[in-house]
Every structure is written in structure tokens, then in C-alpha cells.
Chains A and B, each alone.
Chain A
């Protein structure tokens, strides 16, 4: 992947397939590190499935038997000297607190650090494809914080869907202005 924002889009699709109603994408940056966490309230994975998801020959998809999402994200982290961790609680074992957390850490100064890229397009794409789900996006750095919570937008919009073009444009412009105000774009 050319941008970490594309890995975020890809990994979040797994959360949506797991039936998540809310996905939280949290990016935390210090001067030297970037930590990307994707947390969902989907069905979660059993210990057996969890131990196999990092194997590229494991996938839930039917059209082809290779799943590259997690291995690619893990590789992007490890090639900077960082790492990727997954924890999960399956719905059968934790009926009231199930879900999955994928957390990757990157050394930003490493020559093989992949840039974050167009994270605004990733957020807009997720909402366009899944207007019935909720997303909480938070990007914290030393300069400030950018946030978007679709639950808040939904309460303003009422019956108007989040994937209406005017709404998607508002989301794109709102995020762009937030990034401009902390001078990080």
C-alpha cells in the first residue's frame, strides 16, 4: 500500500464485515512515533481464528484463498522497527463486550516509514460505503486534535443519510478545515 490511510481503509473493512456498529480509528502521533488503533464492536474472533489471521493463507473471503490485509499492515509497521498487535473478544465468550482491536506502531523517522497519506478520503470512503454504521475518527498530534463522530452528525441529520453527496462534501470540508487549523495537511 502506498499510504497507511489505505491500510486503515482495508483493515476497517474487516471490522464492518464482523458486523461492527461502531468503529473507532485513533491515530496518535508524537515527534518520533505514530500509533494507529482500529477498534470495533463486531463479533470478535475466537483464539483459534485470532492465531491464524496473520497468516496470509487465512481469509474469510470466498473468491480467493489468500488474505493480505493484516500481513501488509504488519509489514508496514515492522519495516520501521514498529509492531502490530491484535486482541479480540468473541461474542460467544463475551456477549456484552465483544470486538477486536488492531494496533500498529510506526517509527516515523525510519526510511521505510509509509506516509499516512489522504486519511480524509479514507474517512469519507468508509462513510460512503457504510452509511448505516458509526465511525469515530480521532487524530491526535502535538499540534492538536482532529475528530469526527458520525453519531453526532446523525443526531443533526435525523432521517437524511450520511452518504448523501452534500453530507459527504460537508464531512470532507470539515476535516480539511480542522487539519488546516492545526497546520497539518
Chain B
């Protein structure tokens, strides 16, 4: 069983890491988690981002957070990516599969996956 002793061991391991991390994040991934987003499948999309950002070692550079209704309910799940000095990128109709691609190409490679963005919906 995952015990509290194990949780304490995690704490001890993380103490050093936290200092480096503070203020170091510069990219924000924001997932819409209002009723519309949740019903459309935002929960697995959010969890896929949290997992991929950690697994790809991007946690010092990228934070994943949740927000309310972004305003295009029919295009949910919607994910916004904010990078300093760049224009906001809005991804629509996201799935956990698309998340892997966005993490790989955009967050790691710096190249926006244009076919999943809101601009491609027009």
C-alpha cells in the first residue's frame, strides 16, 4: 500500500528540487474545466498534459493549470498555451492523443501544431 511513510520520503526527495523550480516556469498550459469542457472530455486531456509535461522533463519550464469556460463551448475541450513574448495559441477539440503531439512538437519543439488550433476551425 502507498503509505504515508512513502509520502514523507517523496517530501524529503523533493525539498531540494523545489528551490530550483520556483519562478523558473515560463510557459503556461491552461485547460478549460467548466461544465462544457468537462462534458466534452477535458479531464483526460488535463491529466495527459500533467503526465506528459512531467515525463518529458518539462516541469521546470511549463505549468499546467485549469480555468473556467473559455467561451467556445462547442469547440471544447479547449487548451490555451501562453508563452512569454509570443501570441496565445488556442487548441480546440483536444484529446489525450493530440496532447502527446502538442507536447512533443509545440512545448518541446517550439512549433505550433496548427491543424489543432482554433484558426483551423474557420
Contact = CB atoms under 8 A, between A and B. Distances in A.
A174 B1 contact: yes
Contact of A10 (B38, B54, B73): B38
Given A63-B69, A68-B35, A166-B10, A160 B15 contact: yes
Contacts of B38: 1, 6, 9-10
Interface string B1-13: 1101011101101
Given A10-B39, A128-B66, 6 more contacts: A6-B38, A9-B38, A68-B36, A129-B66, A156-B7, A170-B2
A128 B7 contact: no
Contact of A168 (B6, B33, B50, B65): B50
B7 A157 contact: yes
B13 A129 contact: no
A125 B35 contact: no
B28 interface: no
Interface in B13-54: 13-15, 18, 33-36, 38-39, 43-44, 46-47, 50-51, 54
Interface residues of A, number: 38
A159 B39 contact: no
Interface of B: 1-2, 4, 6-8, 10-11, 13-15, 18, 33-36, 38-39, 43-44, 46-47, 50-51, 54, 59, 64-66, 68-71, 73
Contacts of A173: 2
Contacts of B4: 152-153, 156
A69 B8 CA distance: 37
B44 A160 contact: no
A160 B18 CA distance: 8
B14 A160 contact: yes
A164 interface: yes
Given A1-B39, A63-B69, A124 B47 contact: yes
A90 B36 CA distance: 27
Contact of A61 (B8, B18, B34, B66): B34
Contact of B11 (A13, A69, A72, A156): A156
A63 B15 CA distance: 40
A167 interface: yes
B11 A63 contact: no
Interface string A110-139: 000000001001101100110000000000
Given A121-B43, A121-B47, A129 B33 contact: yes
